[in-house]
Structure 1
């Protein structure tokens, strides 16, 4: 059976008819920049338990310390995306990489108290904004029929958080507290220099006009912004929520030790990251609306299956790996829709808002799961709520988004 191909949108001004010879290099540079800044952005999370003991923090203080850079990075995507529409990634990537190196060095050498780490974590959040730089940059370099895969490959740079998860604690134990921060700062500085000489915005890319606040207000008023934000909050937010809370769930429900739970969670993260380009690639060849409807249906069904806590091996493992694959595919498909439904001059501003929604969407499920377990002693209701949320996202996609994409 031949794949169903979506109706092509008219070529928008600034949309290349075919890939430029430099597009692959630009995509590689953007993906590398996304990965190294996300590596920096995630430095504090693996050290949460260590810092709790070192600074004698309460559980709430530890949670706030880890959450600050994530919240700032998510919200910071909104102005950074709008600035990228105006200034271009050629300027924004090197500047953000260099500025991120400053709090990284401070956290490695200057922070000694909770207040110091909170201040450093606040500015470390800047590293989480580069998602909103890369999306409009890659979008401009690729024609519509290739954007899904290209944006999916760029999005796989979120695997920088996995680099931090795998390396930070080990490097700290082997070489001391400041070493991983020094390594990341050096990598950020090296990338900034390389990006300055190599990165180039597409010469015919559309340049946004108007004030920053005016353009942000316009993006927020666009119905497509809120609709795509809702979908990304479920897809990417679900990925973030599982990557944060899955270790706790595995320890609590199945009695795994923390090391085993962390390794299984790493497998979940790696699979989700790997499936993001697949979601973009499928969106280039199939109807991305139908793909997203299928993704949310799969998430709903698997969440209901997990609600009954089947044995971890093999059923539970299969359920969670299925969730990882579906959520990863969904994140790629959502931004394939952004490229199709948003004018090139607005991609940065809309990406900033949608990206912020995805990042913030990952905070509520762990809170809900914790509250549900505290109240009932089981996770059943939490997974049922996840299934209901996925069903709602599927309905939104099948109705409102389908009409908009027609």
Structure 2
């Protein structure tokens, strides 16, 4: 699109609010799982599976919904998505078993597809040179997680924690009414690229799409996984109270979400690939220190033994997590800027695929965190997992950049007839 449409900023504002409301539902279990774990006495892996339930359904549904949004108005699909999510929230007070919580988690996970629908809705309104900023502002709706971390502790004080489900259902219904009344419709004169559905799937055969998905698996998937994992981690590793753990996690969520708009602006100005590479290096350094478990070392001296205690206290841990959150926020916006540069007419299908695999990071990583914790018996095992994932991302990006540079050199050589004898 050559020019930004009228009412584009209103559409962006309403879309961001709707995404924030749905995201708060999507990570509802991040706070409720603490109470469920106490009630059902869950192991680390069982907790990981419970936290992953809403994430997995929301992630997998992004692929078909992304393709469908190329043919059916994303605004209409978004309305239906919110309608379908509300009954699952109303059922929450009546669930008493672990399997029941898993099934309800899968149901309310429908709220996770709001991101794909929002991306498809927002990109139609803005010109190419504003896509990074627009998608960055929209992505700041991740701050909707703050709604859960602020509201739920307050609600639990005067409501049984299970009755927070109907409360959230009422809030989502209110958001639905606001969206129906205020979110503008795409003007009829805006052209829509609607090829055969098979053609929509063709980019998924390209290695580049899978690379983008891997990058998003880290910058978004690990962000969601940390939202789910941090409250219980703070309580176990640092013996904090529930309210303190939620407050620290809220700090991480809010700061990481709000810088996403800045990430979009930086990607517009300097290029998404440069932003991503810088983000990965910052996270790698922080994760190196976070991965190191509390250690006591005894050095046998000539006259006496010297005992060294190496441990990251709660304040240094929070600073490192804060830096990672900022870097992830910048990276989430820049990945989608890069996607739009390569696939401007397929943001539904390609964007849905990348969002799906990124979302799967939010459900697979908590399980891996729980597995690492149970097998190693140390709390920092989760960060060892993230360090390994990031190392794979950086290796793939390094070879991809080198291949692109080589291809550019070949193209330049051919253009200057260097191959002619």
Task: Normalising by structure 2, report the TM-score.
Answer: 0.82
**CA shift for structure 1 position 219:** 4.3
Provide the residue aligned with 1:7 in structure 2.
none
1:105 aligns with 2:90: yes
Provide the residue aligned with 1:6 in structure 2.
none
Provide the residue aligned with 1:325 in structure 2.
326
**CA shift for structure 1 position 374:** 4.2
Q: Distance in 2 between matches of 1:147 and 1:48?
A: 36
> Which moves more between the two structures, 253-262 or 288-297?
253-262
Residue of structure 1 aligned with 2:130, choices 141, 146, 166: 146
SS of 1:130's equivalent in the other structure is helix
Provide the residue aligned with 1:94 in structure 2.
79
SS of 1:282's equivalent in the other structure is helix
Written as runs of structure 1 = structure 2, the 5 A alignment for 1:225-240 is 225-240=209-224
Provide the residue aligned with 2:411 in structure 1.
none
Structure 2 CA distance for partners of 1:313 and 1:342, relative to 1, 3 Å: same
Written as runs of structure 1 = structure 2, the 5 A alignment for 1:278-293 is 278-293=262-277
1:69 aligns with 2:54: yes
* Counterpart contact for 2:219–2:332, Cα < 8 Å: yes
Q: Distance in 1 between matches of 2:27 and 2:234?
A: 22
* Counterpart contact for 1:82–1:215, Cα < 8 Å: no
Structure 2 CA distance for partners of 1:401 and 1:208, relative to 1, 3 Å: farther
> Which moves more between the two structures, 235-244 or 367-376?
367-376
Q: How many residue pairs get matched?
A: 386
1:277-320, CA deviations, whole angstroms, 9 ceiling, x for partnerless residues? 11111111112111111110111111113234653265433222
Q: Distance in 2 between matches of 1:369 and 1:64?
A: 10
SS of 2:71's equivalent in the other structure is helix
**CA shift for structure 1 position 57:** 5.6
Provide the residue aligned with 2:115 in structure 1.
131
1:392 aligns with 2:392: yes
Written as runs of structure 1 = structure 2, the 5 A alignment for 1:3-402 is 15=1, 17-52=2-37, 54=39, 56=40, 58-59=42-43, 61-108=46-93, 110-177=94-161, 179-199=163-183, 200-203=185-188, 204-211=190-197, 214=198, 217-308=201-292, 310-312=311-313, 315-344=316-345, 346-378=346-378, 383=383, 386-400=386-400
Q: Distance in 1 between matches of 2:375 and 2:104?
A: 35
* Counterpart contact for 1:250–1:261, Cα < 8 Å: yes
**CA shift for structure 1 position 62:** 5.0
**CA shift for structure 1 position 399:** 4.3
Structure 2 CA distance for partners of 1:379 and 1:52, relative to 1, 3 Å: closer
* Counterpart contact for 2:291–2:387, Cα < 8 Å: no
Q: Distance in 2 between matches of 1:336 and 1:45?
A: 29
Q: Distance in 2 between matches of 1:319 and 1:43?
A: 25
Cα RMSD, aligned residues only:
2.8
Structure 2 CA distance for partners of 1:104 and 1:248, relative to 1, 3 Å: closer
Q: Distance in 1 between matches of 2:387 and 2:162?
A: 42
Q: Distance in 1 between matches of 2:86 and 2:385?
A: 40
Q: Distance in 1 between matches of 2:96 and 2:235?
A: 31
**CA shift for structure 1 position 373:** 4.3
Q: Where in structure 1 are there 5+ consecutive unaligned residues? A: 1-14
Structure 2 CA distance for partners of 1:207 and 1:325, relative to 1, 3 Å: same
**CA shift for structure 1 position 116:** 4.1
* Counterpart contact for 1:215–1:349, Cα < 8 Å: no
Q: Distance in 1 between matches of 2:164 and 2:139?
A: 24
Provide the residue aligned with 1:11 in structure 2.
none
* Counterpart contact for 1:94–1:193, Cα < 8 Å: no
**CA shift for structure 1 position 114:** 4.2
Task: Normalising by structure 1, report the TM-score.
Answer: 0.85
1:208-235, CA deviations, whole angstroms, 9 ceiling, x for partnerless residues? 2324xx3564343233321110100011
